[in-house]
Amino acid sequence: MTVHTASAQPLVHRLLLTGAAGGLGRELRRRLPAHCTVLRLSDVAELGSAAAHEELVPAALEDRAAMLNLLADVDAVVHLGGVSTEQPFDAILPANIVGVYNLYEAARIHGVRRIVFASSNHVTGFYKQSEVVSPLAPVRPDGYYGISKAFGENLSRFYFDRYGIETVCLRIGSSFPEPVDRRMLATWLSYDDLERLVVASLSAPVVGHSIVYGMSDNAVSWWDNTPARHIGYRPQDSSEPFRAARQAAQPQIDLTDPAAVFQGGGFVKRGPFKD
């Protein structure tokens, strides 16, 4: 990967964005061109037509040959692809477990040096909202989705230790235009801060294998990013302007409801699923 420090030059030559048709993928599709020369976009869903600076390469994450083709000539990856909510295990397995293996194997074969991996706060969703967790704390996934993201974090650590592929794992909180419920006052990540986080992860000179929570500068927070300060992410937004409206919409908190007690919110209550 070629990282340039001069602002006139793009950070990366050819940058691959997986999951480009998803909510965050569409947002980064319009923001990342400022930071690369060529943006290669991939998804299994419709991507529309390619702009001049774009390459569209549809691929299923579980298709090993397609993934090998997808990573050719790529300098860095922002990996958003995969299932992004709690689901039965069989729905998680292909894209989030097999797929992330295929991605790293293809990266190893093609010599890709840095990956930004969209992990999730659900890797630690079974910590309580009364606790503050750092990336160094033991994982406590709140479902199969969180387990799959913990797998991706472990797999990427192995690929760094064994092959030197650097990864920043982003434990993304709730990245939406604005916080839509009380929980998101703590977990919200604005789109502008998402871009800052991804750009910091791509541009920090040395990241090794790092884990950082993806959150804005919220007044109430359950996560401590101190161990990830080397990435240089400085959030500039806050959920505070939305507090009054969110609290008015949800004035009562039911402390017998696990969704109100645990950091993972409603994810902690999903399942058991029928086969």
Site residues (CB under 6 A) for ligand 15L?
Answer: 84-85, 120-122, 172, 174, 187
Q: In terms of CB distance, is 10 or 19 closer to ligand 15L?
A: 19
Is residue 69 within 8 A of residue 45, CB to CB? The reply is no
Q: In terms of CB distance, is 9 or 85 closer to ligand 15L?
A: 85
Which of the 8 DSSP states describes residue 262?
Answer: B
Q: In terms of CB distance, is 75 or 79 closer to ligand 15L?
A: 79
Closest CA to 171 of 194, 204, 143, 144: 194
Rg of the chain's alpha carbons, rounded to an integer? 18
**Burial class of 258 by CB neighbour count within 10 A (0 to 12, 13 to 18, 19+):** middle
Q: In terms of CB distance, is 10 or 179 closer to ligand 15L?
A: 179
Closest distance to ligand 15L from the beta carbon of 9 (Å): 33
Is residue 158 within 8 A of residue 208, CB to CB? The reply is no
For tokens 């797999």, the residue is: 155
- The C-alpha atoms of residue 217 and residue 205 are separated, in whole angstroms, by 24
Catalytic position from the list 104, 145, 159, 213? 145
Closest distance to ligand 15L from the beta carbon of 193 (Å): 15
Q: Which residues, other chains included, contact 198 with Cβ-Cβ below 8 Å and sequence gap of 6+?
A: 28, 32, 78, 116, 170
3 state DSSP class of 169: strand
Q: In terms of CB distance, is 85 or 247 closer to ligand 15L?
A: 85
Closest distance to ligand 15L from the beta carbon of 121 (Å): 5
Q: Is 145 in the active site? A: yes
Closest distance to ligand 15L from the beta carbon of 117 (Å): 13
Q: Which residues, other chains included, contact 178 with Cβ-Cβ below 8 Å and sequence gap of 6+?
A: 188, 242
Question: Which residues are annotated as catalytic?
Answer: 145
